[in-house]
């Protein structure tokens, strides 16, 4: 913020509270998207383009002994074949496989690139490559090596409080169970894609990404050129869910291919190539021990999670992370361990840690509630964390109680019978379940340019990107709110690395980061406009005090005398017909170490389980969330609903199946990798409390993109238990697991 006092001044909260109230009723980019005018990375026409196809390893472990490319080179349309034996030497930026050595760490790892006139020709030539491997024994069976789990190399963010042994000794009820979640893949609609072209040592890239700045710096590092030489564009991203947050091999390989083939290259991954080479959510095995006294007070929470990690990097699915702050308990220990497997890298996937961790913890709480004979909501209220239990810091804002109440009311929780298997309608066993939702609130500095144009329109530019979440929409609103004008008058440009730098779209940090940047730039631009008017002898505002000038609907006016006013257009017209512009970078709250910020929610599920076929239908999901300011109703609620759908998916459907002998994903397509279809999704009722968190962020908003999935899978698992009396602790809950429970 350019004026940090702003958010300390309660008076100003009134002004800020208005932010987000001039809502765009539709998605800013909605029309462009539904009419096909919105261009995605692979759709930009580039002259003289060639197509690259990534060749992938077919063994999980070993080295490449040789690649005979004679036949492939002769194949029709082939321009270049790049292998570890002839690839240009690059700097390896991060954990990518860019043909700098012959090691194979997982089946599916990129090991060569064929560049040809057309994609079918590139694929056809790839089939002619004769690749010889020296195979090594592979580690593929998670359960077999679970006992060899090790500590993460750089620590696992473990927590500890109290005296676990002493607390356990006092307990009257103990839950001690293991919960597991499978490997998952993100599967955004838009496949990963990069179009790369070189002009001398300048690189132009269209990349499907959640972070143009990351792509820019990785590419610069790989090719040892200044970042300014790399121009990355990505006006639209067709979803990413974390998988486009990292700069993966294919992005650099596309640029390498363009260099070698000396022509622009387009590289689009096939759906089957998105299972492994662009990251996975690791599986988890979570051992949880909860100990409580008979009145429901938690004495000990112990959460030890183990996940797989690839041999390329230590990546932790931090399932136990949020356990340290969710509920009060006398004692607590959490830990993370890793098991090395010959699989592709783990990475962020929508609510990394919280999504998986809430499965274990929130099912365990349901088990505890049953044993204690206490209502599941009541149990959570008994252990409500009034302060962040980690350092005892106050929350910047926490309204989880209201979430429980509101969601429970909307759901009709009072109709639930605690005893299982009591509610039957025909052949359907009906069950209710609930869980707490939570996700961290983070923000980072973010820059923006705001330009007030002589034609009365406003231009906003930010070096971030919209992965489909609504970033365009909320930025148009933020500028409009700050200048008090119609958001339809604001034009937003994103997804271009020449714009003021911002950062990646991930971790639910976007809204809380980019909006303040635009707010600051807009305040600054407005001030410039005011100063111009004051200095202009022909302006009705000439000589006025800065504080007295306000703006509304494209006009400047005096607060003390609203008659004295003129439009932006007249003022700028008189002053050279040139725009007024300002660039600003938002800063983090100075007092941010004095409080803790987090988002909260309560999620309820009703399921119907068929008594004969054991098929599960999720009839209803009801969630209420405390996510600070709800900046835009349409895009915000859409994010939450999408998250809840992900929860259904996680509970019932998704699982990446990796063959235990070959290390290959066997269900690498949408017929076999199940996500919910329309018939699986019924009523979803999502509300946001919309209580601004001004301490955290001058606009009061925390992130919204990930919290929807958290808790949702556990709520469904708990509802299935309530319906059937069958406790399934291993996701996804397929009908055979219900039968066998």
Partner 1 sequence: MNPFNYQRATAPDEAVHAVSARGAKFLGGGTNLVDLMKSNVEQPTALIDVTHLDLTHVITSGNGTTIGAGVRNSDLANHEIIRTKYPLLSQALLSGASPQLRNMATTGGNLLQRTRCYYFMDTVFPACNKRTPGSGCAAIKGFNRNHAILGASDECIATNPSDMNVALAALNATIHVTGPKGQRTIAIADFHRLPGTTPQLDTNLQPDELITAVELPAPKFAKHSYYLKVRDRQSYAFALVSVAAGLAMNGNTIQSAGLALGGVAHKPWRSLEAEKSLVGATPSPAAFKKAADLAVAGAKPTEHNAFKIELAKQSIVRALTLAAQGVQA
Smallest gap from Cβ 154 to partner 1, in A, equals: 34
Nearest to 645 by CA among 716, 735, 729: 716
Give the x/- contact pattern for partner 1 in 412-451, rule: CB under 8 A.
Answer: ---------------x------------------------
Mind giving me the DSSP string for 461-526? E-B---SSSSHHHHHHHHHHHHHTS-GGGEEEE-SBTTSPB---S-TT-HHHHHHHHHHHHHHHHH
Q: Which of 2, 657, 691, 741 binds partner 1 (CB under 8 A)?
A: 657
Give the x/- contact pattern for partner 1 in 121-160, rule: CB under 8 A.
Answer: --xx--x---------------------------------
Nearer to partner 1 (CB atom), residue 37 or residue 677 = 677
Residues 229-288 touching partner 1, rule: CB under 8 A, are: none
By the rule CB under 8 A, 544 interacts with partner 1:
no
678 CB neighbour count, 10 Å cutoff:
6
By the rule CB under 8 A, 617 interacts with partner 1:
yes
- What is the H or E stretch that residue 723 is in? helix 712-724
Beta-carbon contacts of residue 643 (< 8 Å; ≥ 6 apart) = 350, 351, 705, 706, 707, 708, 709, 710, 712
By the rule CB under 8 A, 117 interacts with partner 1:
no
How many residues in the shown chain lie near partner 1 by CB under 8 A? 35
Tokens representing 123? 């694929």
Nearest to 235 by CA among 1, 496, 510: 496
- What is the H or E stretch that residue 585 is in? strand 580-585
Nearest to 639 by CA among 350, 353, 356, 328: 350
Smallest gap from Cβ 277 to partner 1, in A, equals: 15
Q: Which of 159, 478, 701, 734 binds partner 1 (CB under 8 A)?
A: 734
Nearer to partner 1 (CB atom), residue 55 or residue 253 = 55
Smallest gap from Cβ 123 to partner 1, in A, equals: 7
- Can you name the residues that pair with 496 across neighbouring β-strands? 233
Smallest gap from Cβ 37 to partner 1, in A, equals: 24
28 CB neighbour count, 10 Å cutoff:
24
By the rule CB under 8 A, 672 interacts with partner 1:
yes
By the rule CB under 8 A, 613 interacts with partner 1:
yes
Q: Which of 662, 690, 725, 727 binds partner 1 (CB under 8 A)?
A: 662
Backbone φ, ψ for residue 617 (5° rounding): -115, 125
| DSSP reduced 3-state for 622 | strand
Smallest gap from Cβ 64 to partner 1, in A, equals: 15
Smallest gap from Cβ 661 to partner 1, in A, equals: 7
Q: Which of 423, 664, 695, 726 binds partner 1 (CB under 8 A)?
A: 664
Give the x/- contact pattern for partner 1 in 37-66, rule: CB under 8 A.
Answer: ---------------------x--------
State how far the Cα of 182 lies from the Cα of 201, in Å rounded to an integer: 44
Beta-carbon contacts of residue 111 (< 8 Å; ≥ 6 apart) = 55, 56, 57, 64, 67, 83, 84, 97, 99, 104, 131
Nearest to 233 by CA among 272, 293, 193, 260: 193
Smallest gap from Cβ 3 to partner 1, in A, equals: 53
Query: What sign for the dihedral angle of Cα 546, 548, 552, 557?
Result: negative
Q: Is 706 a catalytic residue?
A: yes
Residue numbers at the binding site for partner 1 (CB under 8 A): 58, 107, 120, 123-124, 127, 427, 612-615, 617, 652-653, 657, 659-662, 664, 666-667, 671-672, 674, 676-680, 734-736, 739-740
Q: Which residues are catalytic?
A: 706
């Amino acid at each position: 913020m350019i004026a940090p006092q702003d958010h300390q001044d309660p008076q100003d909260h009134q002004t800020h509270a208005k932010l987000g109230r001039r809502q765009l009723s539709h998605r800013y980019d909605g029309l462009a998207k539904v009419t096909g005018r919105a261009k995605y990375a692979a759709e930009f026409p580039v002259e003289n383009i060639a197509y690259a196809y990534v060749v992938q390893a077919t063994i999980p472990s070993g080295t490449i002994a040789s690649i005979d490319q004679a036949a492939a080179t002769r194949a029709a349309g082939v321009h270049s074949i790049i292998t570890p034996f002839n690839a240009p030497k690059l700097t390896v930026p991060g954990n990518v496989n860019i043909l700098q050595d012959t090691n194979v760490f997982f089946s599916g790892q990129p090991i060569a690139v064929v560049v040809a006139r057309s994609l079918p020709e590139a694929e056809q030539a790839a089939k002619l490559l004769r690749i010889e491997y020296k195979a090594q024994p592979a580690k593929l069976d998670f359960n077999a090596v679970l006992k060899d789990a090790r500590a993460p190399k750089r620590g696992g963010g473990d927590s500890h409080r109290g005296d676990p042994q002493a607390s356990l000794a006092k307990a009257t009820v103990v839950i001690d169970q293991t919960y597991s979640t499978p490997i998952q893949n993100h599967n955004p609609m838009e496949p990963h894609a990069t179009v790369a072209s070189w002009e001398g040592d300048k690189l132009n890239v269209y990349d499907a990404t959640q972070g143009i700045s990351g792509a820019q710096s990785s590419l610069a590092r790989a090719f040892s050129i200044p970042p300014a030489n790399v121009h990355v564009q990505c006006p639209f991203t067709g979803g990413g869910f974390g998988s486009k947050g990292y700069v993966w091999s294919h992005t650099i390989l596309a640029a390498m291919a363009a260099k070698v083939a000396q022509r622009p290259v387009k590289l689009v991954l096939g759906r089957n190539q998105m299972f492994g080479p662009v990251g996975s959510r690791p599986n988890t095995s979570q051992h949880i021990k909860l100990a409580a006294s008979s009145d429901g007070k938690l004495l000990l929470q112990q959460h030890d999670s183990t996940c797989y990690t690839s041999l390329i990097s230590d990546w932790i699915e931090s399932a136990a992370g949020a356990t340290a702050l969710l509920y009060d308990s006398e004692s607590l220990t959490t830990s993370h361990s890793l098991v090395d497997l010959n699989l592709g890298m783990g990475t962020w996937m929508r609510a990394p840690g919280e999504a998986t961790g809430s499965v274990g913890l929130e099912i365990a709480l349901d088990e505890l509630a049953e044993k204690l004979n206490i209502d599941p909501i009541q149990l959570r209220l008994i252990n409500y964390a009034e302060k962040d239990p980690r350092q005892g810091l106050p929350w910047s804002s926490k309204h989880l109680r209201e979430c429980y109440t509101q969601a429970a009311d909307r759901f009709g929780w009072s109709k639930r019978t605690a005893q299982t298997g009591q509610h039957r309608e025909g052949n359907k066993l009906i069950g209710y379940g609930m869980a707490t939702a939570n996700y961290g609130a983070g923000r980072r500095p973010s820059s923006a340019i705001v330009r007030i144009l002589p034609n009365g329109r406003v231009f906003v530019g930010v070096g971030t990107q919209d992965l489909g979440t609504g970033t365009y929409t909320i930025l148009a609103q933020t500028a409009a709110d700050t200048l008090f004008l119609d958001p339809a008058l604001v034009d937003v440009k994103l997804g271009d690395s020449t714009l003021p730098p911002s950062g990646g779209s991930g971790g639910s940090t976007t809204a809380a980061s980019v909006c303040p940047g635009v707010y600051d730039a807009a305040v600054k631009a407005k001030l410039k406009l005011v100063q111009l008017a004051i200095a202009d002898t022909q302006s009705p505002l000439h000589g006025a005090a800065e504080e007295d000038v306000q703006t509304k609907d494209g006009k400047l006016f005096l607060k003390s005398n609203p008659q004295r006013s003129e439009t932006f257009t007249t003022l700028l017209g008189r002053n050279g017909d040139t725009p007024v512009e300002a660039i600003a970078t938002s800063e983090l709250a100075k007092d941010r170490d004095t409080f803790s910020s987090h988002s909260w929610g309560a999620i309820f599920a009703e399921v119907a389980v068929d008594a004969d076929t054991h098929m599960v239908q999720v009839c209803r999901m009801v969630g209420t969330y405390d996510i600070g300011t709800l900046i835009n109703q349409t895009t915000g609620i859409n994010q939450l609903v999408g998250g809840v759908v992900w929860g259904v998916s996680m509970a019932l459907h998704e699982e990446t199946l990796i063959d235990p002998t070959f290390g290959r994903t066997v269900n690498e397509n949408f017929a076999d990798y199940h996500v919910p279809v329309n018939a699986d999704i019924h009523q979803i009722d999502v509300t946001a409390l919309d209580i601004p968190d001004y301490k955290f962020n001058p606009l009061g908003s925390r992130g919204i993109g990930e919290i929807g999935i958290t808790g949702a899978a556990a709520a469904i698992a708990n509802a299935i238990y309530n319906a059937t009396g069958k406790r399934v602790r291993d996701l996804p809950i397929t009908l055979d697991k219900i039968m066998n429970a």
